[in-house]
Structure 1
C-alpha cells in the first residue's frame, strides 16, 4: 500500500526540481515522463508569464544563460525523482504506471498516469512525445517528417479506439 505522505513528498521533489530548472517566471508547466525497468525519459514545457508560446525544457540552456553543467545535474535529478516514484509504486504492489503527466500552475498541480506498454513495437518514444505535445499543448510539428509521424500515430490510435 502506498504511503500518501511519502508519495506527496516525491511529487514535491519532482515539482521543485522542475521549478529549479526554469530560469524565469512561469504560469504553467506540463511534464511528461515515462519509465520502464531499465529506461526512463522525461521532458517538460513551460509557459513564461504572459506568453502563449511554450518553452521546451531541453532548449533552456541554449535560450538562456544557464550553466549547462548545473542544468544537466538538475535534469538527472528529475529523472531520478520520477524513477524513485515509479519504484515506490512497484514496491507497494500498486498498479504499475508507465507514463506520468504532471500539470503545474502556481497554486495547484495535477497528476495523470498512463499504463500503456512502452515496449510494444508499434510505437516508439519519438511518436509518443509528438502525440503528447499535440494532445497537451496543441503543438503541431513544423517539419514534414514529424508531421507524417504524428498523423500516422493519430490514425493508428483512432482505429484502435474504433475497435
Structure 2
C-alpha cells in the first residue's frame, strides 16, 4: 500500500511517502524541485507516483513527530522503518550519510573515501538523489573548500544553511 502524508512545521511544508509502513520519500517543498526528482526516481524503480493515497497512518504521524522534534532541537536518532530505492552504490552512500553524527560536516571527497570510492562526483550525484533528505542528512556534506554547496530540497542553499545552523553549525 502506497500512502502519503503532508504537513507543515517550522521546517516548511513536507510531504512524506510510504510503502506500507516504511518511509520511502520526503519532499521538503520549495524552489529546489525535490518532489519531481523523487517521483521520477521512484518511477524508475517501479513505483507509480500516482498510486499514493493521502493517509495519516501511525507511521506517518511518527515521522511527522520526529521531524517536529528535530526542528525543535532534538538530536534523537531516526529509528523508524524506511526503505531505500536506488542503485547499490547510491544506497551505500545514503547509508554512510545516515552514519554521520549531528556534529559532523564532511566533504564529498571524505564521503567518497568512507564508501571506498575515488569518485567524489559520483558520490555527489548519489547525495543529490537522496530520497529522504533531513532524515538521511545530505545537508551535512559540503565542498572540499568549506563552501556550503547546493541543496536539492526546500529553497536550496538557504534551507541547507538553516538545517546546519539548527544542528549548531556556523554556516
The TM-score by the shorter chain falls in which range?
under 0.3
Instruction: Determine which structure has greater relative contact order: mean sequence separation of CA pairs < 8 Å that are 6+ residues apart, divided by chain length.
Output: 2
- The TM-score normalised by the length of structure 2 is 0.23
Q: Which one has the bigger strand percentage?
A: 1
- The TM-score normalised by the length of structure 1 is 0.23
Q: Which one has the bigger helix percentage?
A: 1
Q: Which has the larger radius of gyration?
A: 1
